[in-house]
Chain A
Amino acid sequence: DQQVKQNSPSLSVQEGRISILNCDYTNSMFDYFLWYKKYPAEGPTFLISISSIKDKNEDGRFTVFLNKSAKHLSLHIVPSQPGDSAVYFCAASEGTGANNLFFGTGTRLTVIP
């Protein structure tokens, strides 16, 4: 059973507006959460992460929010740019160590100029 879920396969947003990508998880033992960005024919690239002791982490235009009680996290991109168009994967792990990441199925973001 999928332990990390991204229920929106796609999202379209106008340039300059906010993009909000959502992710849910079922395993309460997960304590690190990450977002990866993937362009076609390339490997995923790390974007931003958050540990379970925090509820928010910011890096420039990207902010990740974690709601542990709801087992939900979200990625906010403000303002959205056409270069942000890609597939975004949510991932989670139990403890540190990227050798055991559980990934969601991805959300394809399209930023319309």
Chain B
Amino acid sequence: NAGVTQTPKFQVLKTGQSMTLQCAQDMNHEYMSWYRQDPGMGLRLIHYSVGAGITDQGEVPNGYNVSRSTTEDFPLRLLSAAPSQTSVYFCASSYRGHTEAFFGQGTRLTVV
């Protein structure tokens, strides 16, 4: 089992560019989420999904888009990157009804 796999691990973007952060899990978890971690802020929820075809917004959704076409994959799209989106992004997954989440290793994104 690979668990939760995020790619890429590092990325530098120019302001205005778009990109997709990939997240895949092989544990057949129903729930998947994206968080961002900023210095002094802890982790904050961007978007989440409770199953294929179902997504919803978290605390800080602006500038990001998600879709969930399969149980395994939950990509996060940055539509037009801004320096304020410089952060470390974590994808997480869990079973329905379980509060324990499994996290990927993170993607460190820098927008210049």
Q: Which residues of A contact B (CB under 8 A)?
A: 2, 4, 6, 32, 34, 36, 41-46, 49, 89, 91, 93, 96-106
Contacts and interface: CB of A to CB of B under 8 A. Distances in A.
A89 B43 CA distance: 9
B4 interface: yes
B75 to A, nearest CB: 16
A26 to B, nearest CB: 14
Nearest to B91: A43
B47 to A, nearest CB: 9
Contacts of A34: 99-100
A49 B100 contact: yes
A93 B100 CA distance: 10
B27 to A, nearest CB: 12
B40 interface: yes
B92 A98 contact: yes
B50 interface: yes
Contact of A101 (B50, B101, B102, B106): B101
Interface string B31-44: 11101000011111
A44 B102 CA distance: 8
Which one of B42, B48, B98, B102 has the highest number of Cβ atoms from chain A below 10 Å of its Cβ? Answer: B42
Contact of B44 (A6, A96, A103): A103
Nearest to B42: A103
B4 A43 contact: yes
B58 interface: yes
Contacts of A2: 42
B94 interface: yes
Q: Which 7 residue pairs spanning A and B have beta carbons closest together? A: A43-B103, A98-B101, A98-B94, A99-B48, A103-B42, A103-B43, A105-B42
Contacts of A93: 99
Given A43-B105, A97-B96, A101-B43, 4 more contacts: A41-B105, A49-B100, A99-B32, A103-B43
